[in-house]
Structure 1
Amino acid sequence: MMSAFVVVALDVNDEEKFGEYVANVAASFAKYNVEVLAASDELDTIEGVAPSGRIVMLRFQSSAQARQWYESPEYQRVLPLRHAAADTRFMTVVEGLSEA
């Protein structure tokens, strides 16, 4: 099976509201077996133009599972919190290496 990674670039405008989102999104992560690989504002760009803001990387068992999580009632309930706290520049799914 091919792993899939959701990569998100966002600008957090309200840390308190974003903290509320983070606290509430954890339940959806647990239900859909989401692994948080990275979440940081501290980016060390080696080449090209550095993105501003926060980058988040999540790992899923497949791109279908990533879609299932995003469209789930559990995530859709907390999504307005993220929209209220941050401007999302992009959220994309990237397929990765196959797992043994």
Structure 2
Amino acid sequence: MSKGYWVASVTVTNPGQYAEYQALAAKALTQFGATFLARGGQNVSLEGRPTAERSVVMEFSSYQQALACYHSPEYQAAKAARQGAADVDIMIVEGV
């Protein structure tokens, strides 16, 4: 079974509110076994759109597990708390 990955680009617009999202999201991510591979740090866009403030890559045991985490009630509650606190693009990718 192939692993699954969340790839996110994030620009925080309200740090206090975003911290609330992070606390809620951590519960869902832990529950679904997410492992951070990249979280913030330096990044540069070499082609395409400009790089967001933060790039995040998380690994899950499977593509299905990555999808289940995103659609879980726990993560959806975190996502709702994040509204207005950040500009976010998330994609879920199946590993090879």
- TM-score bracket, normalised by the shorter chain, equals 0.7 to 0.9
Matches within 5 A, 1:1-100: 1-40=1-40, 42-45=42-45, 47-48=46-47, 50-88=50-88, 90-97=89-96
Which of structure 1's runs of 4+ aligned residues deviate more than 4 A? none
Tell me the alpha carbon deviations over residues 55-97 of structure 1, each in whole angstroms, 9 at most, x when there is no partner.
1111111111111111111111111122221011x21112223
The amino acid across from 2:11 in the alignment is D
Percentage of pairs with the same residue: 29
> Structure 2 regions of 5+ residues with no counterpart?
none
CA RMSD after TM alignment:
1.7
Structure 1 spans left out of the alignment, 5+ residues: none
More strand by share: 1
Number of equivalent positions? 95
TM-score, length basis structure 1:
0.82
Cα distance, 1:42 vs structure 2: 2.4
Q: 2: distance between equivalents of 1:80 and 1:41?
A: 25
Question: What CA deviation, in whole Å up to 9, does each residue of 1:23-43 have, x standing for no partner?
Answer: 121111111111122111521
